[in-house]
Amino acid sequence: MKLLVVGSGGREHAIAKKLLESPQVDQVFVAPGNDGMVLDGLDLVDIGIAEHSRLIAFVQENEIAWTFIGPDDALAAGIVDDFNAAGLKVFGPSRQASELEWSKDFAKTIMAKYGVPTAKYSTFSDFEKAKAYIKVQGAPIVVKADGLALGKGVAVADTVEQAVEAARDMLLDNKFGDSGARVVIEDYLAGEEFSLFAFVNGEQFYLMPAAQDYKRAYDGDKGPNTGGMGAYSPVPHLEQAVIDQAVETIIKPILSGMVAEGRPYLGVLYVGLILTADGPKVIEFNSRFGDPETQTILPRLTSDFAQNVTDILDDKTPEITWVEDGVTLGVVVASDGYPLAYEKGVELPTKTDGDVITYYAGARFAENGRALLSNGGRVYMLVTTADTVQAAQEKIYKQLATQKTDGLFYRNDIGSKAIK
């Protein structure tokens, strides 16, 4: 088989690299990808994720067996619908199904309808009404842009003033464009966050190992929200009973609800959860693999990834198996200044020792074609598997200590929440 992965980040690097491991797969193309992926034998295609007609033509001309869609904005733009209309196999939810991610108000509405536990909320497009609601509710409180905002459209406000400022940024100052034209304001939930992922086909789903990511930029969960600074999987201190409860009260009802709504789900579903005193509740849904969790989950897959996806696309039951022991942990290396303004062009390492994997998110070759340079906010991620969280941390941070990271930064506490 020849396959295509649409996207350019570390998530797509991990997906494409895992697909290429299949003995059934001869070639994996990534559109548009980034130059760091070339080091793993992946083939880049210079077509943007919004160029649906060009992507469809490429698939038809190159006899691609099926396409895997990585990013949320491509799904929100209806890329799956366009591929289906062209008679092509594609793994990812339709635009209607992916509204679980691209409209937080829709996600809240359908959760309320089907009894899925989540925080109390209200939605506003008028700033003065939002401000009045915040003042009545008090703080801490959470303000979210309704639409997609690259993982940055969420403000966890410790004070009423911070919440009002966040609402002003979104509704009046247009900080997130159309994505912030409406805001969802919800109660703050206290507890520990974790993520569940599942391969989904309608009401059938196949759960992956749980993961926990780190959203804040700096150690100790300080600084602004980012797209994710590291993750580990599974979550050793998370009891199986909690996962079972989340499956019964969240995953099953939301999938059956989507079928009942005429929006059957196909693809990867991400459920961002928080374990409260009342049990697990939904923080958000993503209609695709998360980044950076994907980079720590897929290395644990021991079955044939390409065959697993093929089976789901063919309405067959896939035989999915995972590494049962140990922990896989990864640390993101980002450009200084991220998630705000940052410089590009820092020379990057291209080799690691032992069983440490490098997934590139923002990288390009220099004009001389030899040096690999930074070309984004999150630049690369080092991932490894070990018997314990501590052992995985030791391997990753020992590797990072040997790398030249001038102009870059990373957190030093990824995985520490699992160490009691």
Residue range 271-288: mean pLDDT, rounded: 95
Asked if residue 148 has pLDDT above 90, the reply is: no
pLDDT digits (tens, 9 = 90+) for 72-121: 999 999 999 999 999 999 999 999 999 999 999 999 999 999 999 999 99
CATH fold for domain 2-93: Rossmann fold (3.40.50)
* Predicted local confidence at residue 97, as pLDDT: 98
Residue range 118-125: mean pLDDT, rounded: 95
Asked if residue 151 has pLDDT above 70, the reply is: no
Question: Do the first three CATH levels of 2-93 and 327-418 match, i.e. the same topology?
Answer: no
Q: What percent of the chain has pLDDT over 70?
A: 99
Q: Classify 120-187 by CATH class.
A: alpha beta
Least confident of 90-99, 138-147, 254-263, 310-319: 138-147
Q: Classify 327-418 by CATH class.
A: alpha beta
- 140 upstream amide cis, omega within 30 of 0: yes
* Predicted local confidence at residue 178, as pLDDT: 86
Residue range 216-238: mean pLDDT, rounded: 93
Q: What is the 3-class SS of the chain, one letter each residue? A: CEEEEEECCHHHHHHHHHHHCCCCCCEEEEEECCHHHHHHCCEECCCCCCCHHHHHHHHHHCCCCEEEECCHHHHHCCHHHHHHHCCCCEECCCCCCCHHHHCHHHHHHHHHHCCCCECCEEEECCHHHHHHHHHHHCCCEEEEECCCCCCCCEEEECCHHHHHHHHHHHHCCCCCHHHHCCEEEEECCCCEEEEEEEEEECCEEEECCCEEECCEEEHHHEEEECCCCEEEECCCCCCHHHHHHHHHHHHHHHHHHHHHCCCCCEEEEEEEEEEECCEEEEEEEECCCCCCHHHHHHHHECCCHHHHHHHHHCCCCCCCCECCCCEEEEEEEEECCCCCCCCCCCECCCCCCCCCEEEECCEEECCCCCCEEECCCEEEEEEEEECCHHHHHHHHHHHHHHCCCCCEECCCCCCHHHCC
Least confident of 276-280, 293-297, 348-352, 396-400: 348-352
Architecture of the 192-313 domain: 2-Layer Sandwich (3.30)
Domain ranges (residues) in the chain: 2-93, 120-187, 192-313, 327-418
Mean pLDDT estimate for the chain: 95
pLDDT digits (tens, 9 = 90+) for 162-210: 999 999 999 998 888 888 889 999 999 999 999 999 999 999 999 999 9
pLDDT digits (tens, 9 = 90+) for 255-267: 999 999 999 999 9
* Predicted local confidence at residue 179, as pLDDT: 87
pTM reported for the whole predicted model: 0.94
Q: Which residues pair with 268 in a beta bridge?
A: 199
* Predicted local confidence at residue 149, as pLDDT: 79
Q: In whole angstroms, what is the distance from residue 225 CA to residue 343 CA?
A: 19
pLDDT digits (tens, 9 = 90+) for 283-303: 999 999 999 999 999 999 999
pLDDT digits (tens, 9 = 90+) for 362-381: 999 998 777 999 999 999 99
